[in-house]
Amino acid sequence: MRKRLGLYTGLLALISAAPALSHPHVFAEARLEIIANDDGTVKELRNVWRFDDVFSSSVLMDFDTNSDLKLDHSELVEIANTIRDSLADYGYFTFISKDGAASPVPKPDVFNVDFKDNQLLVFFVAKPAQPLKIGGKMSFGVHDPTLYTAIDFAKDDDILVEGKGFAGCKHTVVRPDADEVLAQNQSTLTDAFFNDPAGTDMAKLFATRMEVTC
């Protein structure tokens, strides 16, 4: 039972059936702040996720070791560590690219959770593994490659850029149309695609993202 959270977010690659992957089971509202250094490099991405009541309740039941129907500091720390460990194989659901090349995201140093109004909140700071100069065409986003978790930005203002490094750039929030994505990729979204042992990332085609052009 105490490993259920890890199973929800970290072992989903074991699910091979396309129908299971194509329907989210966990829902979260997100905020993403993309921060630039003054030297024109990407400093960090500040993530905030608020999970749905059902998933949050299951986390409470699994990690409330003293059965007082609340989560104390040690329980919250255990949840944070479990989620961080579980997301390692999935880039912490945080994706950065420049001119089509992905920039890896290492283990976040800052990773915290809270439980308020019966909802689980996750806060963490992600950084590029190597210094990343702002320029060209860049994309920043948050999504679950397994499609098990639906991460939604309710408003365009929930994903933003900050800092002098972005001063000479144009930026826009892109919300792909699901029907258009399916129509444009119907030749590749086959059973073989979903069952590719090397793994696939269909979610990126549908994910809301910030595109920056400099």
CA distances from 188 to 70, 127, 157, 192, 203 (A): 46, 32, 33, 9, 14
CA dihedral of 191, 184, 141, 117, whole degrees rounded to 10: -70
Asked if pLDDT for residue 54 goes beyond 60, the answer is yes
* Predicted local distance difference test score (pLDDT) of residue 199: 46
Does this model's pTM top 0.85? My answer is no
**Domain ranges, ordered by start, for the chain:** 4-213
Confidence of residue 25 (pLDDT cuts 50, 70, 90): confident
* Nearest-5° Cα angle at 79, 33 to 2: 145
C-alpha–C-alpha distance, residues 55 and 150, integer Å: 12
**What pLDDT is stored for residue 145 in this prediction?**
85
Quick one: pLDDT at residue 191? 56
Contacts of 95 (CB under 8 A, 6+ apart): 102, 105, 139, 140, 141, 142, 143, 204, 207, 209
Mean pLDDT, residues 1-14: 40
Nearest to 12 by CA among 210, 171, 212, 201: 201
Identity (one letter) of the amino acid at 133?
K
Mean pLDDT of 37-44: 96
Percent of the chain with pLDDT over 90: 62
**pLDDT of amino acid 134:** 97
Predicted pLDDT at 192: 46
Given this model, what pLDDT does residue 13 score? Answer: 34
Give the chain's end-to-end CA distance (angstroms, integer). Answer: 48
> 115 CB contacts (<8 Å, ≥6 apart)?
56, 59, 60, 70, 71, 76, 121
* Geometric angle at alpha carbon 105, from 104 and 109, rounded to 5°: 155
Residues 163-168: what's their mean pLDDT? 94
More confident residue, 175 or 8: 175
How sure is the predictor about 46, in pLDDT bands with cuts at 50, 70 and 90? very high
Q: What is the mean pLDDT of residues 118-130?
A: 96
Q: Distance between CA atoms of 58 and 41, rounded to whole angstroms?
A: 40
pLDDT of 17 reads: 33
Q: Are 26 and 149 in contact (CB under 8 A)?
A: yes
Residue 189 confidence class, pLDDT cut points 50, 70, 90: low
